[in-house]
Amino acid sequence: MQAPRITPAGYRRLTFAAAALLAFIIVTGGAVRVTGSGLGCPDWPTCDNSRVVAPLEFHAMVEFVNRTITGLVSLAVMLAVLGALLRTPRRRDLTWLSLGLVAGVLAQIVLGGLTVLLELKPQIVMAHFLVSLVLLANAVVLHYRAGWPDDGPVRRVVPAELVGMGRLVLVAAGLAIFLGTVVTGSGPHGGDPDVERLHFDLPDVARAHGISVVIFLTVTLVTLWRLRKAGAPPALLRAGEVLLAVSVAQAAVGWAQYFTGVPVVLVAIHITGAAAVWGAGVRFLAGFKVRVAAGTRPAAAIPADPEVPAASEGLSRA
């Protein structure tokens, strides 16, 4: 009996669903924290003692819903792996990227358990969030590459020095987000009113975070200016403009929450914005390279990228 096959278009839709769920779990995790529901289910892997399903109490149900969505994310990741194996033609790069999602989800399950068992220790909560961003990056790249042709050389769409600037944009974004987690770990909304907090002076770490955001926005603006001067493809410029728009909105929310006493609603929006900025940044950097279908020539002469093997080396056909 022949196994079912998945078309490239069908697999790309599957990877989009996986990426969307991985972004959504960041939002629901933020909801757990800002509502003070981090210990709503005080046990792991059950909710309370031997109860798998949470009691009908607000904090318990918020945490239980987040755990349920984690199960849906796990299912989506397993389908992404299965889809990569059943895709026609099968591609090695997509298979390895999908397996990366599995590794990340397993790490998240362990960190989720430690978060509860160590009663929301801020360092573990920070690690839990940052690994979520690594998973999101993996999913965004998987979705982007699933849209590539199945054969042909991988090429840069701009000169090599501009690729380096794109990488710098993502590094600056990562630094700003990391310092944002330090601010969160030092301030209110730790997931429970009585949990341990980081012993940093909140205005000092907030100031450092604000400086990193200014650096990130500056690097992004300079990179977009250089890309326009170099005649970068419209698709790459659009991805950069999306990143800039999301980042400016995120910065505005950050300043607003700082000057209004860190209200819960703005904190929740800011967590969502962090995921959006990171996802947009990863997509922007991914767009610096494309795969040109075998037998076609790009509109502009773009040198083959020696760092990336030819597609035929990573392609195995069922």
**Residue 315 confidence class, pLDDT cut points 50, 70, 90:** very low
Percent of the chain whose predicted confidence (pLDDT) is above 70? 90
Looking at the DSSP bridge assignments, the partners of residue 91 are 315
Q: Specify the pLDDT at position 2.
A: 65
Domain endpoint, select from 147, 182, 211: 147
Residues 5-30 have a mean pLDDT of 92
The domain tally of the chain equals 2
Residue 318 belongs to some domain of the structure: no
Domain shared by 99 and 212, yes or no: no
Domain endpoint, select from 129, 147, 165: 147
Burial (Cβ within 10 Å: 0-12, 13-18, ≥19) of residue 248 = middle
Domain shared by 128 and 173, yes or no: no
Per-residue pLDDT tens over the stretch 46-79: 787 777 787 788 888 888 888 888 889 999 999 9
Domain shared by 119 and 172, yes or no: no
Domain shared by 135 and 254, yes or no: no
Q: Specify the pLDDT at position 207.
A: 92
Q: Residue 224: which H helix or E strand, with range?
A: helix 202-229
| Residue 182: domain span | 153-310
Residues 209-214 have a mean pLDDT of 95
Domain shared by 135 and 232, yes or no: no
Per-residue pLDDT tens over the stretch 95-114: 999 999 999 999 998 998 89
Domain shared by 2 and 82, yes or no: yes
Per-residue pLDDT tens over the stretch 224-265: 999 999 999 999 999 999 999 999 999 999 999 888 888 888
Q: Specify the pLDDT at position 318.
A: 35
Residue 257 and residue 270: Cα distance in Å, rounded? 9
> Which residues, at least 6 apart from 316, have a Cβ–Cβ distance to it below 8 Å?
89, 90, 91, 92
pLDDT at 296 over 70: no
**Measured distance between the N- and C-terminal CA atoms of the chain, rounded to whole angstroms:** 15
Q: Specify the pLDDT at position 10.
A: 94
Mean pLDDT of the chain: 87
**Residue 151 confidence class, pLDDT cut points 50, 70, 90:** confident
**Residue 195 confidence class, pLDDT cut points 50, 70, 90:** confident
What pTM was computed for the model? Answer: 0.88
Domain shared by 52 and 188, yes or no: no
Residues 113-133 have a mean pLDDT of 90
Percent of the chain whose predicted confidence (pLDDT) is above 90? 58
How far is CA 85 from each of CA 13, 236, 313, rounded to the nearest angstrom?
15, 30, 17
Residue 315 belongs to some domain of the structure: no
Q: Where are the alpha helices (DSSP H) in 54-186?
A: 58-86, 92-117, 122-146, 160-186
